Structures are given as structure tokens and as C-alpha cells.
Amino acid sequence: MSKKKTKSEETTCCSFCGRAEDTVDKIVSGPNAFICDKCVRLCVDIVEKKDAKGEFKLLKPKEIKTRLDDYIIGQERAKKTISVAVYNHYKRVRSLTNNPGATQYSKSNVLLLGPTGSGKTLIARTLAEVLDVPFAIADATTLTEAGYVGEDVENIILRLVQSADYDIARAEQGIIYIDEIDKTRKTTGNVSITRDVSGEGVQQSLLKIVEGTVANIPPKGGRKHPNQEYIKVNTENILFIAGGAFVNLDKMIAKRLGKGVIGFDTKQQDRAFDATETNYLLSKVETEDLVEFGLIPEFIGRFNSIANCNELTLDDLVEILVKPRNAVIEQYIALFSEDGVELSFTDEALRAIATKAKKSDTGARALRMIVETLLMDLMYEIPSDPTVKEVLIDEGCVNEEAPPVIKYSKRKAG
């Protein structure tokens, strides 16, 4: 017969999640350890999932790109480059796992260049979904060198671990996307004695985890302190994708190439290039251009694949509205159909929406906001009016020149 605990006795807690025995249904004891029923079920789910999935399925570059095509419009060269890089990376992971004595491949981390809203983050997120691996996003502007006020770079590893439900083995084969990496450029001409803790210092701090190291991660994030328990995560097989707009990098490349080579004369050197010119110049980027921009050579050396995401054209934006899986327009059509209303857009309306997004200089990110604003009043009124059956959005409605065309069912007499 078990002895009932007195108030003075210490409460038994799960050794895995830390839950107290009075907060769970059952707790099983073992040699110097305890596990609650919730953790038991989680372990069973993990084991069954791994058994069902079997060995990691390595998609070929063409298969990866085909899957990316379902969600990402345009960016053909970028999708090909990143598909090859990802294939080589996970081929390396599989080789290290199955044949440790085989030839060692270098990591294929990826650097994505391109303006805001061109699809850099979407490419990284879609890759993780296609490969069914954990995914985490970090904003480089929030990171600081260890020991300074801000977020330690190692905390981005914790986000990946959390995305993997603390399955360390899965996390160690995940993908981390570091956004706004161009904002960590070195401060030039700085004569201050203070350190560049959010610029070059961040690049220095990222070097080891990007290349591969065993990082000690605080389980709950935050700053490290003595006597704290850590989660050990090997970053050797984590794929790092860094992205940024790299404003004015095109001008640095043009200066290196020489204006005569690409058709620009000396008088044009300070003008803004159009999208076609910028896309061409960024496709010619070299390590020396990135160094001049402000990235340190050691950091650039950790990214052996560079892909350029082109600025989206008007036609690209129109296609993004309707073509990808879960396209913006299809989502709103589905929302309206839940209330028994058929929503439709004319081709001219779609182009007008794309034109507004193009003028916003935020690329595809502006599309949803424009459509949401356009339909806000309708989404407010329609659920309370069962007589509305059809709504047509035309160009005049988008440009605020006319209201939407609404068709009603026959109203009840009286």
C-alpha cells in the first residue's frame, strides 16, 4: 500500500516536462527519474511517426522545384539554385548518417538576395513544408553579440527546437531562415570606441552555428547564466538560409563591372536602375561585392550558394493573386462561399490590385492588405444580409470610382 504524502514532503515532478504529479493523471517512477502520462503519449507519437515515415525521403532538385512552383510565382533561377543547394545539403546529411567514413561534403547554406516582397521568406518556409522538416525564422535586426542587450544568436536554435516539439534529432535536420541579414553590415568609417554589437558582432557570433557546432541552448530562452541546464544541439546538419534586400548592392556591382560593359555611361552612375537592370546586376554578384557592402569574408564563406530573387513584375503579381495553392483571391472566395455568396473579380480588377501593390514597393506582401481593405465593408455587412447572393469586383471598385456589383435574391414580400 502506497504511503500518502504529507505536506512537508516534496512533490514528485516529471523528469522530462517538469509537471507536478497533482497536475497529471499518472506518473511512472524509475531509477532516479519520473515520467508523466502526457510525456509517455508524446514519446509514443514520436516513435510511431518515425516508424511510419521511415528513412528521410530525399527529393531530387527537379522534384523540389516542382513543389516550389505550386506556391511561388516566378523566380525560376532562384528556385533552381536553391533546389540544387537543398538537394546537396540533405544528400550530405544522409551520407553522414548512413556512411560516416565516406567523402565529406561541405554545407550548402544559401544566401538569398532580393527586394522586399519578392518571396525570399516564402521560399524558405515552403522548402521546410515540402521536406517536412522543422522551420524557424529569425530577424537579424533583433540579434546582438553575446553579452549585450538584445537577443543572443543561439536563441534562434531554440526556436527550431520548439518547432520540432523538442525532438532534438529532428531539429538538427531543420531549416533556419535569417531575415534582414543585410542589416548586419559593418559600420564603415566608425571612429567610435564602442563595438558594432548589432552589425559585425552578430556576423561573428553567427559564424560557428552556421558552419556547425554543438550549441548550448537555454531551454526557456533568454540569457545564459551559471548553474543553468542547457539543451545541446548540433548545428552541423541544420540548413541556414539568409536573406536580405541589399539596397544599393546593384550599384556596387555596376561599378565593379564598368558602365561601358553593361551599357551604362558615366553620367548615369548615380541613377536608380530599373527592375531589369537590377535583376541582371544582382545575378552577377561576387564575394568582393558583398564584402564592399559590409559582410565579413568569413561570414560570406559559410554561404556557398547565392540566389537572386528578382523584383516581381505586374504580371507576376496578377498571377500571385490567383495561381498558387491557397492563392489570396481563392481564400476570399472560399470565405464568402461560407455565407452562401459567390465572389468574383474581373481581369481588370485583378490588374488594378496588382498595380496598387506594385506602387507600394512592398511586392507581394501588399496584395493581401489591398484585397482585405477592398472587401472589409462587404465582409462586415454580408453575414447579416442573407439576400446577398453574388458580388462582383471590377476595376472601378478597386480604384474607388464605383461600388461593387451586388446581386440579391428575391426579398420576402412585406
Sequence ranges of the binding site: 14, 17, 36, 39, 115-122
| Burial class of residue 390, CB neighbours in 10 A (0-12, 13-18, 19+) | middle
Distance (Å, whole) CA 123 – CA 114: 12
Q: Name, in order, each residue with C-beta under 8 angstroms of 134's C-beta and a sequence gap of 6 or more.
A: 128, 160, 161, 163, 164, 170, 171, 173, 174, 175
Distance (Å, whole) CA 233 – CA 217: 7
Do the Cβ atoms of 14 and 22 come closer than 8 Å? no
* CA dihedral (378, 383, 384, 389) positive or negative: positive
Q: What is the DSSP letter of 224?
A: -
| Lookup: cell for 17 | 516536462
Binding residues for ATP: 115-122
With the CA atoms of 354, 81, 69 and 60 taken in that order, what torsion angle do they form, in degrees rounded to the nearest 10?
-170
| Burial class of residue 323, CB neighbours in 10 A (0-12, 13-18, 19+) | middle
Q: Name, in order, each residue with C-beta under 8 angstroms of 291's C-beta and a sequence gap of 6 or more.
A: 297, 300
State phi, psi for 409 to the nearest 5 degrees.
-80, 170
**Distances, alpha carbon 121 to alpha carbons 165, 193, 228, 272, 330, in Å:** 22, 36, 34, 25, 21
Binding residues for Zn(2+): 14, 17, 36, 39
State phi, psi for 16 to the nearest 5 degrees.
-100, -50
Helical segments of 238-382, H only: 249-257, 259-262, 275-282, 287-293, 297-300, 314-322, 328-337, 347-360, 365-381
Grid look-up 506594385 returns: 358
DSSP string of 75-131?
A: -HHHHHHHHHHHHHHHHHHHHHHH-TTSPPPPP--EEEE--TTSSHHHHHHHHHHHH
